Amino acid sequence: MNLIIDVGNTSIKIGVFEEGLIVYKETLKSDSFFMVIQKIHQDYPLISNAIISSVATINKKDMLLIKDLFDIMVLDHTLQMPFKNLYATPTTLGVDRLGLVAGAVGQFPKKNVLIIDAGTCITYDFKNKHEEYLGGAIAPGLSLRYASLHNYTSKLPLLELESPKNYIGDTTNQAIHSGIVNGVSYEIEGAIAEYCNTYPDLTVILTGGDAHFLSKRLKNSIFATSNFLLEGLNHILAFNNSQ
């Protein structure tokens, strides 16, 4: 059994895998991390390997706890990947994006795949059918766009995510919802169309916290999944243990 830990910007996701299938999953805040890890150690004594991917800072106490309980692998750019990384600055590439690409290799081998991760940021990552990672793009996510309109103007309110009633906003609130939600949808549709111009057989994955919300608004054929990063990290762990 494998333990997978993804420390993101706003939450921590944990998964336990058995023979490639996820048998436990939880999303939590950092203040409950200590108790959850201890409970997993008690409930799943057959966990033999673990990996942690962190784009945020995890405190030393929690890290020491994990290392004391599990034989853990820390995801960084020195680990072997199941793909060829052609990113020009590999040491600046977020480890979460490595996990997403690994997930695409594991689930869609020998295919051109665009992975769109809609979270705090919206990232676009592309690997071709030769299992080469070429790069992608980074854009602000939905929550960042709401926050930036409020923080960088004097009168616009801070709103919660909501589907706009119409593309023509007839109130300031509706105009904000339309601008942000429709704007992100148009952006994603445009990015997919651009990739499809070069790779007409493109497979598109949509994942991340806002994937379910956005998938209902997109016209393109996509695979929406919430576990894709955890599955990718599990693939990296298995790949390195097999070397």
Rounded-to-integer distance, Cα 208 and Cα 220, Å: 17
Instruction: Check whether 13 is labelled as a binding-site residue.
Output: yes
pLDDT of residue 61: 79
210 labelled ligand-binding: no
Q: How many CA atoms lie within 13 A of 230 on its CB side?
A: 24
Is 120 marked as a binding-site residue?
yes
31 carries an active-site annotation: no
The reported pLDDT for the residue numbered 225 is 84
Q: Is 183 annotated as a binding residue?
A: no
Asked if residues 236 and 81 have their Cβ atoms less than 8 Å apart, the reply is yes
- Residue ranges of the chain whose pLDDT lies below 70: none
Q: Is 145 annotated as a binding residue?
A: no
**pLDDT score recorded for residue 63:** 83
* 7 marked among binding-site residues: yes
Instruction: Write down the pLDDT at residue 88.
Output: 97
Q: What DSSP state is assigned to residue 182?
A: I
The count of C-alpha atoms lying within 13 angstroms of the C-alpha of 17, restricted to the half-sphere facing its C-beta, is 22
Domain with CATH 3.30.420.40 in the chain: 2-74, 90-233
Look at the domain 90-233 and name its fold: Nucleotidyltransferase; domain 5 (3.30.420)
CA distance 226 to 70: 25
Identify the pLDDT of residue 58: 75
Task: For residue 79, give every residue at least 6 positions away whose Cβ sits within 8 Å of its Cβ, in sequence order, or none.
Answer: 73, 236, 240
Q: Give the pLDDT confidence score for residue 52 in this predicted structure.
A: 94
Q: Give CA–CA dist 10/206, Å, rounded.
A: 19
Task: Tell me what pLDDT residue 179 has.
Answer: 98
Is this prediction's pTM over 0.75? Answer: yes
CATH class of 2-74: alpha beta
pLDDT per residue as tens digits for the range 141-161: 999 999 999 999 999 999 999
Name the amino acid, one letter, at 17: F
Provide CB contacts within 8 A for 167, sequence distance 6+: 178, 182
Residue bearing tokens 């695979």: 223
**Residue 19 CB contacts under 8 Å (≥ 6 apart), including other chains:** none
Catalytic residue (choose from 62, 76, 96, 210): 96
What DSSP element (H or E) covers 224? strand 223-224
